[in-house]
Amino acid sequence: MNLRGMRAIYVFEMSRAGRTLLQSVVAPVLATSLYFIVFGAAIGEHMAVIGGVPYGAFIVPGLIMLSILTQSVSNAAFGIYFPKFTGTVYEILSAPVSPLEIVVGYVGAAATKSVILGLIILATAALFVPLSIAHPLAMLAFLVLTSVAFSLLGFIIGIWANGFEQLQFVPLLVITPLTFLGGTFYSIDMLPPLWRTVTLFNPVVYLISGFRWAFFGLTDVPIAMSLAATAGFLLLCLGVVGWIFRTGYRLKR
Amino acid sequence: MFRPMQPIVSIKNLSKTYASGFQALCGIDLDIRQGEIFALLGPNGAGKTTLIGIVCGIVTATSGSVTVAGHDIVADYRAARALIGLVPQELSTDAFESVWATVSFSRGLFGKPQDPALVERVLRDLSLWEKKDSRIMTLSGGMKRRVLIAKALVHEPRILFLDEPTAGVDVELRQDMWAQVRRLRDAGVTVILTTHYIDEAEQMADRIGVIDRGRLILVEPKAELMRKLGKKQLVLQLHRPLESLPAGLAAHRLELAADGAELTFTYDVQADRTGIAALFDDLARAGIGFKDLRTTQSSLEDIFVSLVRKP
């Protein structure tokens, strides 16, 4: 194992976040605060209590997920795309580091940043609404698993992307709609039966439901299904990353 | 006494066809000797960068094999790559990083423990010490090139690949760079450089390989190459132009040039007898006088052009 090489990539990626603090931490925290002001304080007053949880608190897990999913994907995608774009990836490819070490370095850093971001948003939310966390360990586990899985997805997108537009494509046009429609702001039980069934094909539903369970003990779908979906998605991404390095897809010529 | 050593880089029957169908390399066999400076010479698009890319792990070979100090570059890539430093042709740098950070990063990436004293020495050797805290984006092109060299050297490689190291580099840096390359060679580092500047190869290299359209045309020690293919010419400016060569001079390798005002005599410098004395005797006998003379020696460039123009 080239642990030093892995650490060099990880530290490099983490220090990149330090330079782009405004973009990687301040912006999502501000956006989340705005959601709380609009949906929690302004509109939430007029919303029914869902499953015994005030609306302002109910949306917290979904909002954290919204940020984590988009930030994991963007961050990991950018992390590997940028060296490809500038050409500095030559050094990673010519170094005595294994694909696994490269992935752990890039994806580990992106996931770490997401977890930190999630915790910051959680702390921000606690300023707006009273929060209690029923299963703190499960909450952390979901946070970490989701961050890793979507950072892997971001890594794949970063390797696939041939331009900045493609890089933005998945976070903006796929992740954000799926998260909004995946029960961030409502329980899917509130939907008409047909839409409820359609929504069950949205993988993000399982993530948000599981994460919300960790907070309030409430679920839209059984917790085991949430875990299975998260783990399944993680394995799928791992499989694709493995294939990328075996074939050199868009990394090596 | 000459003792054959195991080659430090051994390339066997290496071919590369890109996804586009373009065949960049075709059955390359090449052994690089330990401690030599090897120049890979060839026109643009000849396959130089592809060859280096394969050895360094950036390009996947279609067929063939490469070993570095006995380590296969695929099966035993860690051991092979740890020995190699690569300075790429493009000025690809992390624009937002400082010089110190990017050079230290390279050392870590290659699995070496951090060594600030060594980083300092490398930066000083390359006149980068003053710039150690500068962001790379603020540096000139020549300075960026130095940064890339520092990154390649900081993990103490035994083999250094320089891909077109002096493209777009000013004279001063070029001199510095050659001094550095000689120091490295003296320290036992094997240097493989690609260039399409012939004078570079002529000045620096111990051996020269000429590559054209994906094929290695020849590999020779430089001196051997110059001797084998290097011919010298003696040009005589005549007092009176000649219509044709007098029969008495037919035995010499002579040509009339400049409308008969010049006689060109081609000879082999290395031969026991160059034939110059005999030529002068015969000229005097034929009554041909000359007012001036000059000699020219074919450069590597002439040799090169004559090689790659062959169909």
Report, as an integer, the average pLDDT of B60-83: 95
Q: CA torsion, points B161, B166, B172, B173, in degrees to nearest 10? A: -40
Q: What is the mean pLDDT of chain B?
A: 87
CB contact under 8 A, A97 and B109: yes
Q: In chain B, which residues have their Cβ closer than 8 Å to the Cβ of A81?
A: none
- Give the closest-approach CA distance of A42 to chain B in angstroms: 42
Looking at the structure of chain A, the number of domains it has is 1
- Give the closest-approach CA distance of A235 to chain B in angstroms: 26
Angle between helices A3-19 and B99-109 (to 10 degrees): 150
pLDDT at A214 over 90: yes
Closest CA to B151 of B92, B105, B112: B105
CB contact under 8 A, A253 and B18: yes
- Residue A78 within a domain: yes
A99 in contact with B, Cβ within 8 Å: no
- The 10s digit of each residue's pLDDT in A46-82 is 777 777 788 888 888 988 998 899 899 999 999 999 9
B105 in contact with A, Cβ within 8 Å: yes
- Give the closest-approach CA distance of A78 to chain B in angstroms: 14
Q: How far apart are the two ends of chain A, measured CA to CA in Å?
A: 25
- The 10s digit of each residue's pLDDT in B163-178 is 988 777 778 888 888 8
- The 10s digit of each residue's pLDDT in B20-43 is 999 999 999 999 999 999 999 888
Q: Kind of pairing, strands B207-212 and B37-41?
A: parallel
pLDDT at B1 over 50: no
Q: Are B55 and B66 in contact (CB under 8 A)?
A: yes
Q: Are B190 and B184 in contact (CB under 8 A)?
A: no
- Residue A175 within a domain: yes
- Give the closest-approach CA distance of A58 to chain B in angstroms: 41
Structure tokens at B101: 């950070």
Q: In chain B, which residues have their Cβ closer than 8 Å to the Cβ of A88?
A: 92-94
Report, as an integer, the average pLDDT of A115-136: 89
A residues 12-31 near B, CB within 8 Å? 12, 15-16, 19
- Give the closest-approach CA distance of A17 to chain B in angstroms: 12
Compute CA distances B309 → B222, B230, B243, whole Å: 20, 17, 32
- The 10s digit of each residue's pLDDT in B187-218 is 999 999 998 777 778 888 999 998 988 999 88
Closest CA to B311 of B201, B218, B217: B217
pLDDT at A158 over 70: yes
Half-sphere exposure of B48 (CA within 13 A, CB side): 26
CB contact under 8 A, A253 and B110: no
How far apart CA A154 and CA A157 sit, in angstroms, is 5
Interface residue of A88, A250, A252 to substitute, partner B, most B CBs within 10 Å: A88
The whole-number pLDDT of residue B311 equals 55
B111 in contact with A, Cβ within 8 Å: yes
Lowest-confidence segment of A11-15, A50-54, B281-285 by average pLDDT: A50-54
B residues 244-283 near A, CB within 8 Å? none
How far apart CA B205 and CA B10 sit, in angstroms, is 18
The whole-number pLDDT of residue B299 equals 67
Determine phi and psi for A231, rounding to 5 degrees: -65, -40
Closest CA to B205 of B36, B9, B52: B36
Closest CA to A227 of A118, A112, A135, A142: A142
How far apart CA A11 and CA B255 sit, in angstroms, is 70
Confidence band of A151 (pLDDT split at 50, 70, 90): very high
Confidence band of B228 (pLDDT split at 50, 70, 90): low
- Residue A127 within a domain: yes
The whole-number pLDDT of residue B95 equals 87
Q: In chain B, which residues have their Cβ closer than 8 Å to the Cβ of A91?
A: 86, 106, 109, 151
The whole-number pLDDT of residue B37 equals 94
- The 10s digit of each residue's pLDDT in B239-273 is 888 888 887 787 788 888 878 888 888 887 767 77
Q: Could you please report the per-residue DSSP string of B111-127?
A: TPPP-HHHHHHHHHHTT
- The 10s digit of each residue's pLDDT in B76-132 is 999 999 999 999 998 899 888 999 999 999 999 999 999 999 999 999 988 899 999
Q: Kind of pairing, strands B9-17 and B290-297?
A: unpaired
Closest CA to A150 of A115, A183, A177: A115
CB contact under 8 A, B105 and A5: no
Other Cβ atoms within 10 Å of B81 Cβ, number: 26
- Residue A253 within a domain: no
Question: H-helix or E-strand containing B177?
Answer: helix B171-186
Q: Are A74 and A114 in contact (CB under 8 A)?
A: no
The whole-number pLDDT of residue B4 equals 56
pTM: 0.84
> A-B interface: how many C-beta pairs under 8 angstroms?
77
Q: Print burial letters for B217-253: b (CB count within 10 Å at least 16), e (below 16).
A: bebbebeebbeebbbbebbbebeeebeebeeebeebe
Residue of B nearest to A84 (CA): B92
Identify residue A70 by its one-letter amino acid code.
T
Q: In chain B, which residues have their Cβ closer than 8 Å to the Cβ of A16?
A: 96
CB contact under 8 A, B109 and A19: no
* SS3 (DSSP) at B202: helix
- Residue A73 within a domain: yes
The whole-number pLDDT of residue B50 equals 94
Q: What is the mean pLDDT of chain A?
A: 88
A residues 46-85 near B, CB within 8 Å? 83
Range of the structural domain that residue A242 is part of: 3-247
Interface residue of A91, A93, A104 to substitute, partner B, most B CBs within 10 Å: A91
- Residue A252 within a domain: no
* SS3 (DSSP) at B22: coil
CB contact under 8 A, A92 and B109: yes
Q: Residue B110 is nearest to which of A7, A11, A95, comparing CB atoms?
A: A95
Residue of A nearest to B56 (CA): A94
The whole-number pLDDT of residue B195 equals 81
How far apart CA B226 and CA A138 sit, in angstroms, is 75
The whole-number pLDDT of residue A14 equals 92
CB contact under 8 A, B57 and A93: yes
pLDDT at B2 over 60: no
Residue of B nearest to A4 (CA): B111
Question: H-helix or E-strand containing B296?
Answer: strand B290-297
The whole-number pLDDT of residue A5 equals 95
Interface residue of A82, A90, A97, A102 to substitute, partner B, most B CBs within 10 Å: A90
